[in-house]
Amino acid sequence: KAGVTQTPRYLIKTRGQQVTLSCSPISGHRSVSWYQQTPGQGLQFLFEYFSETQRNKGNFPGRFSGRQFSNSRSEMNVSTLELGDSALYLCASSYKGEEQYFGPGTRLTVT
């Protein structure tokens, strides 16, 4: 079975721009969770989607949003980028929210 894939792997954006990251879960998995990893804050939960509905949300501003499609693929969007949004963004999939399998991440750099 193919693992979780994330595109793009690396991204450089300028402050004020917006960005969209994509995640394809393991086949058959219906839950997709997103995490932000930074040296200062560690791994923080952004949100989780299950069957196209946001089921959980972390403590991030409204500039961070996401969605899930009928094939379980998910995207997250960050609008009005700030320097502090530079991070590794990790996507994880699971069948219904239990053990999660992670993708390789998207490294976002905001300049």
In the complex with other proteins, which residue's Cβ is closer, 1 or 14?
A: 1
In the complex with other proteins, which residue's Cβ is closer, 33 or 85?
A: 33
Least distance CB 13 / other proteins (angstroms): 19
In the complex with other proteins, which residue's Cβ is closer, 24 or 31?
A: 31
Backbone angles phi, psi at 90, to 5 degrees: -110, 140
Sequence-distant (≥ 6) Cβ neighbours of residue 32 within 8 angstroms: 23, 25, 48, 49, 50, 68, 72, 73, 74, 91, 92, 93
Least distance CB 35 / other proteins (angstroms): 7
Residues that bind other proteins in the complex, under the rule CB under 8 A: 4, 31, 33, 35, 42-45, 48, 50, 55-56, 58, 90, 92, 94, 96-105, 107
Least distance CB 105 / other proteins (angstroms): 5
Q: What angle do CA 52, 58, 61 make, to 5 degrees?
A: 100
Upstream peptide bond of 8 is cis (omega within 30 degrees of 0):
yes
